[in-house]
Chains A and B, each alone.
Chain A
Amino acid sequence: MAQKAIREYDAKSILAKHWDKYFPDFTYAYETTMVQNGTELNEIAKTASWLNEKTLVAKPDMLFGKRGMNNLVLFRDAKPGDVSLAKASSWIDEKSSGDQSVFFSFDGETPTGEPSVDKLTHFIVEPFTPHEQSEEYYVSATCVGDDDVIYMSAEGGIAIEEDWDAKVTEIAFPITASEDEIAEQIRANVPKDVADENKANFAEFCIGFFKAYRELNFAYLEINPFVMQGNKIELLDMVAKLDDTAGFMMVEEWGDVEYPTAFGMEAKSPEVEAIEEADAKTGASLKLTLLKPEARIWTMVAGGGASVVYADTIADMAGIDDLANYGEYSGGPTTGETKFYAETLLDLMTREKDPQGRGKVMIIGGAIANFTDVAKTFTGIIQAFEVYADKMKEVNLKIYVRRGGPNYEKGLKDIKEAADRLGLYIEVYGPETHVTDIVRMALEGDK
């Protein structure tokens, strides 16, 4: 996936790193830190004096919003703006100690839907910034259709979403828009509710913001709200996504940025991480998502399109309760890479028997390849069979193969022979069989 969410702390750090380039007329103190527990915060406080000198605000930094509504922003002890370092530390320890329920949607003050339950592991801590409501503003930018769009408002805060059309000014720019055109348009379209004496400053800040959004390859960038007091800026809350395909150009600009799993999403399993790591190192493509590891139908499908068609067909014919994974390998992976991918899947699918006592099914599918050498990739799969044959038999695994493309006759013959030799159940089909027909066969073969 090209667009990846990053933590608020990282978003602020990236802007701070390039502050003078984009916001030369403004100051930003960049007093912010991210910790996982109170001890860590106390440790940082030994060198970061502001943590001792100022009162603080603390909140989770885990890619979800509406933290205030969920009562997860610490800004008051006895009264607003009196949070000490000790209080922040103990609050973080308390919040990170057990599972937390977080609601992502609200109707007024009332949460709606089921909460996500997960542990809070990352917190951002910053100074409490006293300011007037009128000093809060909103700005964001993203790509809509073919254009980049900047959204600006004289009011910040959560309420903006409720009165979006009335309060937000948006301007769309084609990708080829020049800096001068952009600056001119922004200056001409400052939201009317921005006080006249602040309009010039607001425009300059938004121009710098949009330039940063474009040049630093953000896919989404939002500051809600920022506080502008003359030339002094505070970034109270930020949301950002990066276009990670630009990573190779942005090594220096982004620094050491992390793409965390969202709160409530299961952490990636070591197997998925290993596949991601292998994927990053090869010109080919290796992808794996675990949907329901205890389910009995596993797919090992070649090709980004074909893998989706197989998943669709399984969902149509068997329902998603039986589908264990989604994934694909493509772009001509080596025998070794395919072996590793197959072993990872076989390891996962042979760990436990089906609770209902049914056999497991492995769909080795694929369309007619353009250039991937089928025999070569199948050699990798066969090598994995050799390692896992006994375990495969224990879970009563049936294999259904369908593939075409360069060298497919040899690939199909090899895999059939290997399975027969190892005593594995296998059915093998070539391009004369409709691409997803093996799903039907596998399901009927069960009965």
Chain B
Amino acid sequence: MNQLYTKSTQAIFWNNNKTAIQRMLDYDYTIQRETPSVAAIVAPTSNNKFDKFFFGPDEVMIPLFKTTAEAKAAQPQADVLLNFASFRTAYDVTMEALEIGGFSSMMITAEGIPERLARGMNQTAREKNVTIIGPATVGAITPGAFKVANIGGTITNIVNSKLHRAGSCGLVTRSGGLFNELSNIIAINADGIAEGVAIGGDRFVGSVFIDNLLRMEKNPEVKYMILLGEVGGTEEYKVIEAIKNGTITKPVIAWCIGTIAKYYDSGVQFGHAGASANGEMETAEYKNNAMREAGIHVPTSFNELPAMINKVFTNMNLAEIPEPSMSTVPATRRSKEFICTISDDRGEECTYAGFPISSVATPETGKGIGDVISLLWFKKQYPKWATEFIETVLKTVADHGPAVSGAHNAKVTARAGKSVVESLVTGLLTIGPRFGGAIDGAAEHFKYADDNGLNPKEFLGHMKKQGIPIPGIGHRIKSLKNPDLRVTGLMNFAADNFPATPLLDYAKTVEALTTSKKENLILNVDGTIGILMVDMWRALDYSEDEINEFIASGTLNAFFIVGRSIGFIGHVLDEKRLAMPMYRHPMDDILYQVDVAEEI
């Protein structure tokens, strides 16, 4: 690739450095990129799933991941890693990303990574053909396309320095601060830069001057190049060599800073860790002279650099670069307190996941409550068999008589003279691990057993070790010979309509084992629903992680809550109709055993 970044390049940003990420998005908006340049953020200690950033006047959500691997799997197109880990972890982060693969370049900002680690990291990247920018750098930029983190500074400075669109210069510096300064000088004295890299101040950096200049030599947008070197090291000589052997043919302007170092002994460290001359060849003066002799345009001092740039640029007589249109980032923006991703009431008609209510509500639409649930709960249009299954479940769990704890609570509350909603919630509040929870539990445990390849016997042993009875197994009176017809109905529906029912098939092998021990240890209605829900999601191509998340977030319980609310409301209305008096539990139904409190 002859260009470091394009206008569609996206990055994974390691560490949620909000200011830097916001600066990237402000840049994106200014140069009218279609997508934000940050596709994902790796934030190992955050439990959030995304963070909000401004994209122009609006906000966008950028997903957060705990690991680089997860981020890369979710955003495979993001081929740039911006490694903002500290010097303690930056090495591990880079090495892991190199192992994962799929990155074309990585930028490492930390200063002071142990030299041996930095060398190993740089070498590994080189072998894998990954361009490393840094360590100890502010990054790189392809103006008009992609900007790394903080490089270029504020938006105002970026526009002043013409970093919002490609110019003609390829710029390579060691220093990040002087990169900015030179961008400004080049904007004033020439027409801006086409690509720029600050290679970093540490002694061992990944890509060096020559790597970047060779790429720029091949980049047709780059017409001439500027190299700002430093005292110390011999990297400039590789550039001289490339000019001498004709690999670099475009004009090069260069200057090495640190001419002062010759006045002092080596005990004085000027500038970056890499800036220390070992021997005459590494002094700034020697390198400046050598570059001048090789035909590079070298000024007499840094102060003369702007004039030199102006002279070389003017002589090239390049066509003027048209100024592209830009968007302006609003000066004040307010972050939103709430986010909604399921429905929208801002237009003519409120929509459910993009569908106007009228398009799903009336019978002629052919849509049922299962469709509405699939839109509002899952933001997907489920196929007919799935929405019908959801409706079957709701109907099946709608009521189970007055004696169960939720219905009983609702009835007692209604008799205390409370309203429908108050009575309903007292009933709903009993739903949890013991009441209705078997649906969740069955889904979770059967899925675990199936995922881990436990045979029925091993599964039973596993549950016994956990000390919990298997959720979804067992009925008070029903048995294989006297089957629960609700269960039969669900199973028949699944058999006729589901593409496949692997978890139910597994559950049946478990049931065969449990019923061989005791007649009534059958797969009950809760278990069947939980298990078939998993099969439904599997058939709908959800990943196992997504299904686990549905289970963990209580989605299965939600089906029970909706369905059973129908029955609870029925019981409450029944009580209202009957106008039964306040309920008091008979005392003879309570075992009283009250000891006198001991003094302690």
Contact = CB atoms under 8 A, between A and B. Distances in A.
Interface of A: 1-3, 143, 146, 174-176, 214, 217, 219, 243, 245-246, 248-249, 262, 265, 285, 287, 289, 291, 302-309, 311-316, 320, 326, 328, 330-331, 366-371, 404-406, 431, 434-437, 440
B272 A304 contact: yes
B361 interface: no
A431 to B, nearest CB: 6
Given A248-B87, A305-B175, A309-B257, 15 more contacts: A245-B87, A245-B112, A303-B177, A305-B228, A308-B271, A312-B258, A315-B259, A326-B260, A367-B180, A370-B150, A370-B177, A404-B153, A404-B184, A405-B180, A431-B157
Contact of B267 (A265, A320, A367, A437): A265
Contacts of B284: 312
A303 B175 contact: yes
A308 B275 contact: yes
A430 B297 CA distance: 28
A87 B154 CA distance: 69
A370 B273 contact: no
A320 B153 contact: no
6 contacts: A143-B119, A214-B116, A243-B116, A246-B116, A305-B174, A367-B178
B522 interface: no
Interface string B368-411: 00000000000000000000000000000000000000000000
Interface in B246-296: 257-260, 263-264, 267-273, 275-276, 284
A2 B258 contact: no
A326 B231 CA distance: 15
A243, A302, A304, A315 interface centre (most CB from chain B within 10 Å) = A304
B31 interface: no
A338 B257 CA distance: 25
B484 to A, nearest CB: 63
A287 B127 CA distance: 36
B301 A305 contact: no
Nearest to B276: A1
B20 interface: yes
Contact of B303 (A174, A313, A330): A313
Given A246-B114, A246-B116, A176 B123 contact: yes
Interface residues of B, number: 62
Interface in B105-121: 111-117, 119-120
Contacts of B272: 304-305
Contacts of A245: 87, 112-115
A117 to B, nearest CB: 15
Contacts of A440: 303
B184 A368 contact: yes
Contact of A369 (B153, B174, B301): B153
B306 interface: yes
B258 A405 contact: no
Contacts of B273: 1-2
Contacts of A243: 114-116
Contacts of B526: none
A305 B268 contact: no
Contact of B114 (A217, A291, A312, A404): A217
A316 B259 contact: yes
Top 4 closest A-B pairs, CB basis?
A: A305-B175, A303-B177, A246-B114, A367-B181
A436 B304 CA distance: 11
Nearest to B228: A305
Nearest to A303: B177
A2 B154 CA distance: 31
Nearest to B284: A312
B263 A315 contact: yes
A285 B273 CA distance: 12
A366 B113 CA distance: 25
